Amino acid sequence: DIQMTQSPSSLSASVGDRVTFTCRASQSITTYLNWYQQKPGKAPKLLIYAASSLQSGVPSRFSGSGSGTDFTLTISSLQPEDFATYYCQQSYSTTITFGQGTRLEIK
């Protein structure tokens, strides 16, 4: 199975900060990488698909980049509603796998 590793596991930041999350695959997945946001008690929400495509309705402060094995999710200016856990997910293989998540906390 393709292993997905996210770093850091948690991150503290302030409103207005620019933050970047990293996701690394154990083998090349080209651009078959998606990002989700999950708030406590809620279902995950798709933010970015195919590494860099912004899902409809998602604010433009979210952006994704990368290909091969290394990917990033960036929030350009943190808003209060952005504090949540973020997961990456690969669909290069039909055995789909997620990263372990990065928890974004308020500093």
Partner 1 sequence: EVQLLESGGGLVQPGGSLRLSCAASGFTFTTFAMNWVRQAPGKGLEWVSAISGSGGGTYYADSVKGRFTISRDTSKNTLYLQMNSLRAEDTAVYYCAKFPYDVLTIAGWFDPWGQGTLVTVSS
Quick check: 102 and 10 in contact, CB under 8 A? yes
CB of 15 to partner 1, least distance (A): 26
CB of 32 to partner 1, least distance (A): 4
Torsion of CA 4, 102, 84, 95, to 10 degrees: 10
CB of 23 to partner 1, least distance (A): 13
Cβ proximity to partner 1: between 36 and 78 the closer is 36
Cβ proximity to partner 1: between 21 and 87 the closer is 87
Quick check: 78 and 93 in contact, CB under 8 A? no
The residues binding partner 1 (CB under 8 A) are: 1, 32, 34, 36, 38, 43-46, 49-50, 55, 87, 89, 91-92, 94-101
CB of 7 to partner 1, least distance (A): 14
Cβ proximity to partner 1: between 83 and 92 the closer is 92
Distance between CA atoms of 57 and 55, rounded to whole angstroms? 6
Name the DSSP class of 31.
T
Strand pairing category for 4-7 and 19-25 = antiparallel
